[in-house]
């Protein structure tokens, strides 16, 4: 059983541990990033939004905050982790600014840096960093989004002219949803099938001019606007088509594949599939950034909703002339506090992921297995954080009633702008399949081919011994799990080792079940290879979710170990309890079906979650204070208006006798929308 919470906790102690390794980047942004163009302008036209966001991009270029990840010799700081954190901080402002910056410096500039060689760096990186060369990342096609390996755009080499012929063969091969394309982009990194000497060598990337110095499309390039979107009005998403555009041989970004003047193709990676995934793996920073940015937007929504709920009053306390703060209703606590706990959990998981990415990208030698595990973890956390953002921002909107529906209170803006996060940088469902396939591939590598999979009892070792998890923190987790006295009902629900073992046991069991079904399908006569996997797709996705839940909980536990303040540690321990138990409660059916919970213990679980949210309710504002979001970044009118109302309410309540504690007094009362 955890100890009782202190009456007050300094939010700055929480901020220190949440800020983590790149706290200096976060502090710099909070102290210095206060440009009016950073904030959304409610009611502006699309043209006005695009112009404002472009102005802000130029301002950011001059600040150096968006170029941390570029090489020092070109004016950067060789700090990949810092570059991701910088994007996370931008996401507290207008998300169009964050996406614009992500396209320019993360995708376009990142592709030139990662896939190009020194001649490309010398020629273009400084102009890209300074926003003197606005660019696009032209990968997605109208007919092929997630299936990048089968893009239809072709780039065919002609030795006679020593140029490539870039061509869109049909409308479904049109490059679509391309940021910076409709208005600002002058060049694009275009992904296409490389063809030379009549042979295809898979998807590669080229630097291609799309507009001239006057802003007009270059010959052979057709540029159009994607049109009205649900959100992100400041981002000029567009479409690109290429009608036999001539591209010089030198514009091939040739770090992983070279074409000689005579058309001979060479590559340091012989296997085409391995080469393709190596190329995409170098661009993992964008996926890591999207997950972190989604969590920033979630924090902002929770900050607004929790503060509003602390001052918004509904209905009178029985026996006293005093209205109840919305945050005092258990149903409201249930709506926001588990989401807040999950946001804390993802913050620690994101910090761990960014640190791993940074260390791998700055290492002298890249370990292929570690890189593969990094990509899998980035995929899983991106999906988890963006889905969580979609759910939580909607919950915050509802928690603020009618006020939450007004643009001036920021929540509709956050809801519209983050919705696409579940789609770009990888569709979430596809990404979760990638996570699961990584787990299944690890199983196959350890135990042989699909037909020979049988030693299921060893999956636990596989789950617990991936390269990225061989850390000191992992030793702590193992000790906590090993200390659990048993699986009987006497183990307290708040025992951290029991929580960890429950997550680990679920992942192991679900993975074993998926393997058994795959093996059975593979041994079924006449079953097509596609059906072997498709038949268990639901199970595969469940495996991925269980895996992500586990690594997130373990990151939370490890993050608490970095806390030096006793009060902050006690509060984080309780928030971690709420994350763990609310996650188990959400999947209570599985735990009951598989005998991991008895019906009586399942009821106790719900009662414990209720008790946790009651205990955390007095600390709700402290927990959002710890996000340290500057007041000037929030752009929510309701927070300014409620300050005066709160003062008036406090004066009124001071004249009314105290009715005692409010927890549990009116949990069945519906809270109507604010008028």
DSSP assignment of 253-319 equals --SS-EE-TT--EE-S--SHHHHHHHHHHTTHHHHHHHHHHHHHHHHHHHHHHHHHHHH-EEEEPTT
Contact 285, 83 (CB under 8 A): yes
Neighbours of 387 (CB within 10 A): 17
Q: Which residues are catalytic?
A: 425
Report pLDDT for 321: 72
- Residue 557 contacts residue 576 (beta carbons within 8 Å): yes
pLDDT at 671 exceeding the cut of 90? no
| Lowest mean per-residue pLDDT among 370-379, 461-470, 661-670 | 661-670
DSSP letter, residue 217 = B
Asked if pLDDT for residue 461 goes beyond 80, the answer is no
Q: If phi over 0 gives left and psi between -120 and 50 gives alpha, with beta otherwise, what is residue 325?
A: beta
Helical packing angle, 368-399 and 537-560, nearest 10°: 90
Average pLDDT over residues 107-120: 97
pLDDT over 50 at 673, yes or no: no
Tell me what pLDDT residue 467 has.
Answer: 47
Q: What was the pLDDT predicted at 6?
A: 84
- Residue 347: per-residue pLDDT: 98
- Name the band, by pLDDT with cuts 50, 70 and 90, for residue 65: confident
- Per-residue pLDDT for 423 more than 60? yes
Pick the more confident residue, 396 or 282.
Answer: 396
Confidence of residue 646 (pLDDT cuts 50, 70, 90): low
Structure tokens at 576: 């971690």
pLDDT at 637 over 50: yes
Residues contacting residue 40 through CB under 8 Å, at least 6 positions apart:
93, 94, 96, 410, 413, 635
Q: What would the mean pLDDT of 173-198 be, rounded to a whole number?
A: 97
Residues 468-517 pLDDT 10s: 554 556 778 888 887 787 666 778 999 999 999 999 999 999 999 998 89
Provide the pLDDT for residue 51.
Answer: 97
pTM score? 0.91
The Cβ of residue 465 has, within 10 Å, a number of other Cβ atoms equal to 12
Residue 310: alpha-carbon gap to chain centroid: 28
Which is it for strands 154-158 and 187-196: parallel, antiparallel or unpaired? parallel
For residues 8 and 432, the model is more confident at: 432
pLDDT at 670: 35
pLDDT at 620 > cutoff 50: yes
Residue-wise pLDDT tens digits, 527-547: 888 888 889 999 999 999 999
CA atoms within 13 A on the CB side of 67: 21
Mean pLDDT of 555-578: 96
Distance CA 325, CA 315 (A): 9
Give 326-341 pLDDT, tens digit per residue.
999 999 999 999 999 9
CA–CA dist 70, 83 (Å, integer): 9
* Amino acid 458: pLDDT: 36
Q: Identify any residues that bridge with 221 across adjacent strands, giving them in sequence order.
A: 242
* 179 pLDDT higher than 80: yes
Cβ-defined contacts of 360-364 (< 8 Å, 24+): 361/80, 361/285, 362/78, 362/80
Q: Mean pLDDT in the chain?
A: 89
Q: How confident is the model at residue 145 (pLDDT cuts 50, 70, 90)?
A: confident
Q: Which pLDDT does position 10 carry in this prediction? A: 95
Encode pLDDT of 23-54 as tens digits: 999 999 999 999 999 999 999 999 999 999 99
- Residue 482 sits at φ, ψ, to 5 deg, of -65, -25
Q: What is the pLDDT of residue 465?
A: 46
pLDDT (0 to 100) of residue 449? 45
Confidence of residue 613 (pLDDT cuts 50, 70, 90): very high
Asked which of 34-43, 160-169, 230-239, 314-323 is least confident by mean pLDDT, the reply is 314-323
Instruction: Please give the average per-residue pLDDT across 145-149, as a whole number.
Output: 83
Predicted confidence (pLDDT) per residue in 292-309, tens digit: 999 999 999 999 999 999
Return the minimum-mean-pLDDT range out of 186-190, 599-603, 650-654: 650-654
Element (H, E) at 81: helix 80-90
**Around Cβ 58, how many Cβ atoms within 10 Å?**
13
The DSSP line for 555-603 is HHHHHHTT---HHHHHHHHHHHHHHHHHHHHHTHHHHHHTTSS-HHHHH
If you average pLDDT over residues 615-636, what whole number do you get?
96
Q: Which domains are assigned to the chain?
A: 11-134 (1.10.540.10), 136-271 (2.40.110.10), 284-625 (1.20.140.10)
Best CA proximity match to 459, nearest among 419, 509, 392: 509
> Does 651 have pLDDT greater than 50?
yes
Mean pLDDT confidence for 621-631: 97
Task: Tell me the per-residue pLDDT of 223-278, one tens digit each, with 9 for 90 and over.
Answer: 999 999 999 999 999 999 999 999 999 999 999 999 999 999 999 999 998 898 88
Tens of pLDDT, residues 212-228: 999 999 999 999 999 99
Longest dimension (CA), the chain: 92
Tokens matching residue 556:
């939370």
Kindly report which listed range (284-288, 320-324, 382-386, 577-581) carries the lowest average pLDDT score. 320-324
CA distance 568 to 556: 14
Which residue in this structure is represented by tokens 């709420």? Answer: 578
């Amino acid at each position: 059983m955890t100890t009782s919470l202190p009456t007050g906790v300094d939010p700055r102690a929480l901020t220190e541990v949440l800020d983590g390794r790149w706290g200096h980047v976060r502090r710099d942004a909070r102290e210095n990033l206060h440009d009016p163009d950073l904030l959304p302008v409610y009611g502006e036209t699309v043209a006005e939004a695009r112009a404002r966001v472009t102005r802000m991009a130029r301002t950011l270029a001059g600040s150096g905050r968006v170029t941390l990840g570029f090489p020092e010799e070109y004016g950067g700081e060789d700090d990949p982790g810092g570059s991701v954190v910088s994007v996370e901080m931008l996401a507290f402002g207008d998300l169009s600014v964050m996406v614009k910056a992500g396209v320019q410096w993360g995708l376009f500039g990142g592709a030139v840096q990662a896939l190009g060689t020194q001649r490309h760096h010398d020629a273009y990186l400084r102009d890209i960093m300074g926003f003197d060369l606005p660019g696009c990342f032209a990968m997605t096609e109208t007919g092929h989004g997630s299936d990048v390996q089968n893009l239809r755009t072709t780039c065919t080499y002609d030795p006679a002219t020593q140029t490539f012929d870039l061509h869109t063969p049909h409308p479904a091969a049109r490059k679509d949803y391309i940021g910076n394309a409709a208005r600002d982009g002058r060049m694009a990194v275009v992904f296409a099938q490389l063809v030379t000497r009549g042979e295809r060598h898979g998807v590669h990337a080229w630097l291609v001019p799309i507009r001239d110095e006057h802003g007009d499309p270059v010959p052979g390039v057709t540029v159009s606007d994607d049109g009205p979107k649900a959100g992100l009005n400041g981002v000029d998403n567009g479409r690109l088509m290429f009608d036999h555009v001539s591209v010089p041989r030198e514009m091939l970004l040739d770090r992983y594949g070279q074409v000689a003047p005579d058309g001979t193709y060479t590559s340091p990676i012989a296997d085409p599939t391995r080469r393709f995934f190596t190329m995409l793996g170098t661009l993992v920073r964008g996926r890591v950034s999207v997950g972190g940015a989604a969590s920033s937007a979630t924090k902002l929504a929770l900050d607004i909703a929790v503060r509003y709920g602390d001052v918004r009053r509904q209905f009178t306390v029985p026996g006293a002339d005093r209205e109840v703060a919305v945050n005092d209703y258990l149903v409201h606590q249930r709506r926001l506090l588990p989401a807040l706990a999950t946001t804390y959990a993802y913050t620690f998981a994101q910090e761990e992921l960014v640190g791993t990415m940074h260390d791998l990208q700055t290492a002298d030698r890249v370990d292929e297995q570690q890189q593969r595990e990094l990509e899998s973890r980035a995929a899983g956390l991106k999906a988890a954080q963006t889905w969580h953002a979609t759910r939580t921002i909607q919950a915050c909107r509802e928690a603020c009633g009618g006020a939450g529906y007004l643009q001036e209170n920021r929540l509709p803006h956050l809801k519209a702008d983050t919705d696409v996060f579940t789609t770009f940088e990888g569709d979430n469902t596809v990404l979760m399949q990638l996570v699961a396939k990584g787990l299944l591939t690890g199983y196959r590598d350890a135990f042989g081919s699909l037909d020979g999979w049988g030693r299921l009892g060893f999956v636990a070792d596989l789950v617990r011994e991936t390269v990225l998890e061989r850390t000191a923190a992992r030793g702590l987790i193992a000790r906590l799990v090993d200390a659990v006295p048993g699986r009987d009902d006497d183990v307290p629900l708040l025992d951290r080792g029991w929580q960890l073992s429950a997550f680990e046991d679920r992942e192991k069991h679900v993975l074993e079940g998926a393997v058994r079904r795959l093996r059975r399908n593979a041994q079924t006569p006449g079953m097509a290879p596609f059906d072997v996997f498709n038949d268990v797709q639901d199970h595969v996705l469940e495996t991925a979710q269980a895996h992500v839940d586990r690594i997130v909980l373990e990151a939370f536990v490890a993050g608490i170990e970095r806390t030096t303040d006793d009060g902050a540690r006690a509060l984080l321990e309780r928030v971690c309890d709420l994350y763990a138990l609310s996650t188990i409660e959400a999947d209570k059916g599985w735990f009951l079906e598989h005998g991991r919970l008895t019906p009586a213990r399942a009821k106790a679980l719900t009662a414990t979650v209720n008790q946790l949210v009651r205990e955390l309710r007095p600390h709700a504002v402290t927990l959002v204070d710890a996000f340290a979001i500057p007041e000037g970044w929030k752009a929510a009118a309701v927070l300014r208006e409620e300050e005066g109302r709160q003062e008036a309410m406090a004066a009124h309540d001071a004249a009314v006798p105290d009715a005692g504690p409010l927890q549990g007094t009116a949990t069945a009362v519906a809270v109507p929308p604010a008028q």
